[in-house]
Amino acid sequence: MEKNIGIALDQTIPGHDTIPLSPYYFWPRKDAWEELKEVLESKPWISQKQMIILLNQAIDIINLWQQSSGNLS
């Protein structure tokens, strides 16, 4: 696990807690970006624009993790 990063999505409901939208995907073991994309496409209430924003944020996190050689502590 030291050479992987886990990415998952939660949805925040104002005035309530968060609910998980996806399981954890561990990159580079799996293509986390592609799996998140599939999950987001299955949620009809998530707009195309919001989906793009979330996927771009996932890529930003993965890139940051790669640039830090997996040491984001």
- Which of 20, 51, 47 minimizes the C-alpha distance to 6? 20
Question: Which CATH number belongs to the domain containing residue 45 in this structure?
Answer: 3.30.390.140
Neighbours of 21 (CB within 10 A): 16
Number of folded domains that form the chain:
1
What residue numbers bound the domain in which 66 lies? Answer: 5-71
pLDDT of residue 27: 77
pLDDT tens, position by position, for the chain (73 residues)? 567 888 888 988 888 889 898 888 887 777 888 889 999 999 999 999 999 999 999 899 888 888 887 665 5
pTM: 0.77
